[in-house]
A and B are shown apart, each in its own frame.
Chain A
Amino acid sequence: MPGLFGESFLDLIGLVLLFPLAGAIVNGLCGKKLSPSIVGFIGCATVGLAFLISILVFLDLLKLSPEHRLFEKEFFTWIGSGSFTAVAGLQVDPLSTVMILVVTGVGFLIHVYSIGYMHGDEGFYRYFTYLNLFTFSMLLLVLANNFLLMFIGWEGVGLCSYLLIGYWFEKKSASSAGKKAFIVNRIGDFGFILAILLIFVTFNTVDFTEVFHSAPKQLTTGSLVATVITLLLFLGATGKSAQIPLYTWLPDAMEGPTPVSALIHAATMVTAGVYMVVRCNVLFVMSPFSLTIVAVIGGATALFAATIGLAQNDIKRVLAYSTVSQIGYMFLACGVGAFVTGIFHLITHAFFKALLFLGSGSVIHALGGEQDMRKMGGLKKYLPTTYKTFLIGTLAIAGIPPFAGFFSKDEILLEAYTKGNLLFWGLGAFAALLTAFYMFRLLFMTFHGKSRMDKHVEEHVHESPMNMLLPLMILAFLSVVGGFLGFPAASAINNFLAPVVGGRGHIGMVNGGETHHVSQNLMFSMMGLSTGIAIVGIMLAYILYCKKPDLPAQIAGRFKFVYNILLNKYYVDEIYDATIVNPTIKSSFFLWRWIDVRIIDGFVNGVARFVELKSEVLRLFQTGFVRNYALSMLLGGIIIIICALFFL
């Protein structure tokens, strides 16, 4: 088949984008008239096909020798203006291939799951249109071969995220959450676009290959330009990936349908910031200061969000804060220069967090929309499959071997210790303890213990249909085996991604270990330690929520102050409201009522009235009589001739 289409499947990379886009167009234009099953089929099939092609592309890429694994396909010159050119081109390399596999693979499962979850919703076609459009934008983001095209994808996913958070827009909270996500993201996007401008000014190009090629030659390590560019890029990343200080939108984003939370706000879009930082690793490495900032923000977010997660009662909000926390880990890894480890955690996180979200969706579905964990409990016997898969996901995120999360999280801690310092390790390790605790708190409150459900809810509890359970099982399987991608003794992912990060992978045992080796002893003792931390967290949760269910309330009573702070998320939203949001609204009211309406509109309306008056006057000359028209032609002609002969 490759012979038909060109050299290899790499040439078909455009199709990966085209299928979801076509799905979005067909569903968007005709979805209203199609039956829901066809809409669902189109939505899933297009992403499924994109996934198949991604696999073929991946296999073709593997056939090439590692240093040649970079394929660029340029479609057309998008903008050409003076020295500025932007090409609509895609770039297939190990990093983008890994990302498209995750996006289309996990995306496909979530699309399938959505058919069951959104069954009977009025806007079924609208939902799948947005979801396909999101898949397209996300793929564009990771496949773009220049900053500008990437920015298009970046904005595209932001738009789809906004549309899907506010999917049930009749609900005030949903539409405000969408708005909040969009506005907070704008701040980050502003940084990103400034970074792109600065990159163009500095390198005179926005093409990835050219920028990364000339960066080491043109800039010195630690130079101001490199630092400013990378800090601005990172500002963009904090917005999209919900890091301090721009993380506040993500918990609110849980107003969207749960599969959306799984796809956009856990597995793919929110990790775009991590992808971007890894993509620009050449630039980040040139600024040690920026890297430190990345690590500090990442580590701090990991811990900060984990503490909030301790006290939340909404099942999806706990998961949201855990997402913020886990992405913090990824940035921590990037910040200490372990870019591959960051991507590794991104992948495993995509598996287990999608699993957890879909599992929570299954619970919410079963309970008819209930999200408060205080009104759950004892669901184990009602939802056996959901429980089993959820348990796997929880073990994975808690970092119990051999589940996926263990390997990636352990590696981050190891890197933080060896490449960073004890502080970074401490942040990560403590956050890991909290993670294990709050995740098992969630598990115990939901599935174990006595039922706290309302009577009529309990009567209707049912296990989800097969098309929802199947994705759960597949994701559970991936959460079990996914970690072996990066199994230290034969790290497949490290070798695969090494060319992208210029050999600055993690500290493998066998390959890529030219920089410095880590002794086996250290590695295994670290593994033991992090497993120990996780088990302590689980034990604590077990004692508090299974053995002595009264204890948490007592503790909360004893430490009321701390508990309230955590429950209210450190009052960050309130602080932002008081310091930024409200003053902005007030001043905009002033600008509107006074400056705009009185002064600017007054001026504009004055001009308009003047022009209108002139128009009325000029209109009088259009008499409708041919003789007048001919006369004006004649007069015009005479004036022209006289001027030309005597005055010019």
Chain B
Amino acid sequence: MEITVPPFDIKSIAPIILVTITGIVVLITDVFLKKLPKETLGYFSFLAVLITGVIISSQLGTTVYSFSNTFVVDDFSIFFNFIFLISTAIVILMSVTYLRQEGINYGEYYTLILFATVGMMLMAGGADLITIFLGLEIMSISLYVLAGFRRDRLDSNEASLKYFLLGAFSTCFLLYGIALLYGATGTTNINEIGTFITNNHAYSNPMIIMGTCLLIIGFGFKTASVPFHKWAPDVYQGAPTSVTAFMSAGPKAAAFAVFLRVFLVSLPGLETKWSVILWVMSVLTMTVGNVVAITQTNIKRMLAYSSIAHAGYVLMAIVTASSLGTASILFYLLVYVFMNLGAFAVIMVLGKKGKENLQIDDYSGLGYKHPVLAITMSIFMFSLAGIPPFAGFMGKFYIFSSAIKSGYIVLAIIGVINSVISVYYYLRVTVVMYMKQPVREFAPLSLSPFIILALIITIWGTIHLGIFPSRIIEFAQESVLLP
């Protein structure tokens, strides 16, 4: 038997290799140079992420399949890679001071963040269900550890364990779904699955339908869509704030990347089925997320539910299965990175070791004591609520208009109603900041140049994309999968 070595193209995975090596170098350096300040590892990782971004921009405009068609570099994956790298870079900036302050300043933190990023990049570029699964697991395992990074805290441990147990549970669904699809089509390559289904008109093959449903469950878990969302509030609340911020941005986007690629490339033939399921899930996700967020008193938990609700908006655009919908998702996820990470950064600035100030009431009177910080927070809240001129408005606008253009008027109306509900809990933060008397003394802020830089970047993104969205929108439109 002749064994053929599949041609491989180092260039196409160069960014992934670079991030991986950085992660390993950080890990080894941390072990051998114990005296090295951990912050240095943070800057080093930040720099590596920036360089990776430069390398990725040189790949723009190409579509290269490599490693026996299991990995692809196209504008779609590149757009997502930008989203990942931006969120990773911002999270690193946010973490440097936070880790020291919380007494969890270990070097492996950056390694885990970088490895999770590697997983996300693999997911976005995966052209084969196995590659996608590999990426998803690399990302998830890193996140399980990160969630429990505050080892001495019970809630952090609880978050980690819950996330791991439920994550393992959802992985079973996903793997079983992949197995069923393989059994029915004889391949795990997503292009070939699509071709097989179209050529054989296998639209009502029960194995394929079941496989599709199981994939929805698996991906639905990772994107925290109702009814697979229950882990999210507990994990978001228990994990260290920097990790919560990280989980809400990059990994979520990665899960949507595979959601889009698999459903639009492999399974467009079953659109009549999955679009109905996703329609219902979208409505449930938006509504549950927004409604339950109203009664939350802990701001991290509130943002967890808000993040669930935002997943609902994105699902709405997947339902349309149109290129406009995909473009609006790409834009929205980028916008979400800026505004959500920004909100978390403000939360971190207000926190101190042992006094994290996570109750919404802790924000009372912030507007008088720290006006700049309060305005910053207000901007992020306004943007999350979708109020112009901030980016969140443009993001929602494009998603809703894609739904309307594809004829999903009812879905769009439900989305708008949900948007209105969400204004209540976002603005409550602003109201508390400006219209209530402080309940106690404010401790000095935990400011450092890095978190200030993170805040500047996120504010800039939130405002810039709100006022001048056209360039990024064009880029997103060029990066969609469908013709």
Interface set of A (CB-CB < 8 Å, partner B): 76-80, 608, 611-612, 614-616, 618-619, 621-622, 624, 626, 628-630, 632-633, 635-637, 640-641, 643-645, 648
Contacts and interface: CB of A to CB of B under 8 A. Distances in A.
Contact of B294 (A611, A636, A644, A645): A611
The 7 closest A-B pairs by CB, nearest first: A636-B227, A629-B230, A615-B295, A641-B213, A637-B217, A648-B273, A615-B294
B295 A645 contact: no
Contact of A629 (B166, B214, B470): B166
Given A624-B234, A633-B169, A643 B228 contact: no
A76 B210 CA distance: 50
A635 B213 contact: no
Contacts of A637: 173, 213-214, 217
B295 A619 contact: yes
Contacts of B462: none
Contact of B162 (A615, A626, A643): A626
Contact of A643 (B230, B277, B470): B277
Nearest to B162: A626
A628 B234 CA distance: 13
Contact of B276 (A629, A636, A648): A648
Contact of A76 (B226, B273, B468): B468
B42 to A, nearest CB: 28
Contacts of B199: none
Contacts, number: 84
A77 B474 CA distance: 12
B264 to A, nearest CB: 18
14 contacts: A608-B424, A612-B294, A612-B295, A615-B293, A615-B294, A616-B295, A626-B161, A630-B166, A632-B227, A633-B230, A636-B228, A644-B273, A645-B210, A648-B277
Given A615-B291, A637-B173, A77 B470 contact: yes
B272 interface: yes
Contacts of A648: 272-273, 276-277
Interface in B418-473: 421, 424, 468, 470
A644 B231 contact: no
A79 B471 CA distance: 11
B292 A640 contact: no
Interface string B394-421: 0000000000000000000000000001
B206 A645 contact: yes
Contacts of A622: 230, 233-234, 292
What's the interface size class on B, roughly? 35 or more
B292 A630 contact: no
Nearest to A634: B169
B81 interface: no
B295 A644 contact: no
B212 interface: yes
A626 B173 CA distance: 17
A26 to B, nearest CB: 16
B209 interface: yes
B228 A618 contact: no
Nearest to A633: B228
B166 A626 contact: yes
Contact of A633 (B209, B227, B276, B288): B227
A640 B217 contact: yes
B430 to A, nearest CB: 17
Given A611-B421, A644-B209, 8 more contacts: A79-B470, A611-B291, A615-B293, A629-B166, A633-B228, A633-B230, A636-B217, A643-B277
B17 interface: no
